[in-house]
């Protein structure tokens, strides 16, 4: 698969240790746009694939443990499914739950082996904004897509929703600085719609953005468990994690409802675009 950057080596290690962490965080939480309610952010992407009589070929880029592919394979439609991920641990988890006719490839998104113009849809859940050389990734996506083929991706928009995010950032940032965190993920242009528009313009048209809220009302210890399975917290030293946990619980106390929960969730964005 070629040489790996420091970020890619870390991501491989993380997903070997925590295969299925992304689906654990997102698969059971409802998602809502301004117009539509979905059962999860994975269901948002599945809804981008129409029910057609003729077979279509779909690639899930950074497919993880195969949750989205399983949703699609369960449709009993003539879908030709391909999952690509650079983590063997995630692919092993995917293989255990997917039917044998789903193709799984261990590859980097920057250098796909899939034939040019052979894919009708490329889907990706919470991955593109993390990738090195995103322009090259988008070029590869365009290469494997047929003309007028569709890219649909869920990407990060805001880490947590509401006041909980403000509190988390105010507690996390000084601790991350003290712990000298230096690994940074992805291209800064993936943080904004304007940046995505610039990145997609050379190869794609009819670009659309839809903000999606993945709402959640966890108890503080449930929130903390989910946070420990995110990259930023995982990178902290053990002592920094403990300081963060203590300070976060203190800061969240005024926001707790009578049942002890806090109102938050994950802020994501759906990007849809058509290959030129």
CATH 3.40.47.10 fits 6-168+181-221+262-275, yes or no: no
pLDDT value at residue 194: 98
pLDDT value at residue 257: 98
Burial (CB count within 10 angstroms: exposed 0-12, middle 13-18, buried 19+), residue 259: exposed
Kindly report, residue by residue over 33-68, the tens digit of the pLDDT.
Answer: 999 999 999 999 999 999 888 889 999 999 999 999
pLDDT value at residue 2: 66
- Residue 239 has a CB neighbour count (10 Å cut-off) of 11
Answering whether pTM is above 0.85, one says: yes
Burial (CB count within 10 angstroms: exposed 0-12, middle 13-18, buried 19+), residue 148: exposed
Q: What are the boundaries of each domain within the chain?
A: 6-168+181-221+262-275
- Residue 109 has a CB neighbour count (10 Å cut-off) of 23
pLDDT value at residue 77: 79
d(CA 120, CA 34): 27
- Block residue for tokens 């925590």: 18
**Residues with pLDDT less than 70, the chain:** 1-2
pLDDT value at residue 1: 65
């Amino acid at each position: 698969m070629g040489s790996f950057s420091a970020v890619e080596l870390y991501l491989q290690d993380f997903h070997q240790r925590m295969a299925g962490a992304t689906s654990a965080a997102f698969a059971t939480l409802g998602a809502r746009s301004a117009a539509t309610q979905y059962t999860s952010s994975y269901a948002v992407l599945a809804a981008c694939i129409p029910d057609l009589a003729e077979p279509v070929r779909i690639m899930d880029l950074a497919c993880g443990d195969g949750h989205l592919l399983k949703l699609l394979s369960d449709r009993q439609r003539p879908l030709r499914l391909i999952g690509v991920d650079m983590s063997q641990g995630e692919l092993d988890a995917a293989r255990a739950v997917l039917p044998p006719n789903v193709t799984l490839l261990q590859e980097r998104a920057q250098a796909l082996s899939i034939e040019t113009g052979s894919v009708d849809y490329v889907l990706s859940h919470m991955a593109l904004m993390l990738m090195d050389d995103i322009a090259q990734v988008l070029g590869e996506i365009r290469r494997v897509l047929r003309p007028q083929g569709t890219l649909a991706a869920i990407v990060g928009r805001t880490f947590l929703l509401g006041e909980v995010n403000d509190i988390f950032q105010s507690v996390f940032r000084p601790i991350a600085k003290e712990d000298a965190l230096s690994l940074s993920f992805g291209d800064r242009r993936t943080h904004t719609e304007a940046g995505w528009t610039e990145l997609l313009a050379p190869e794609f048209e009819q670009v659309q953005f839809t903000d999606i809220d993945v709402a959640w009302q966890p108890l503080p210890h449930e929130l903390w468990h989910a946070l420990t399975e995110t990259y930023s917290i995982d990178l902290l030293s053990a002592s920094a994690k403990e300081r963060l946990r203590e300070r976060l619980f203190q800061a969240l106390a005024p926001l707790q409802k009578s049942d002890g929960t806090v109102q938050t969730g994950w802020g994501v964005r759906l990007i849809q675009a058509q290959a030129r």
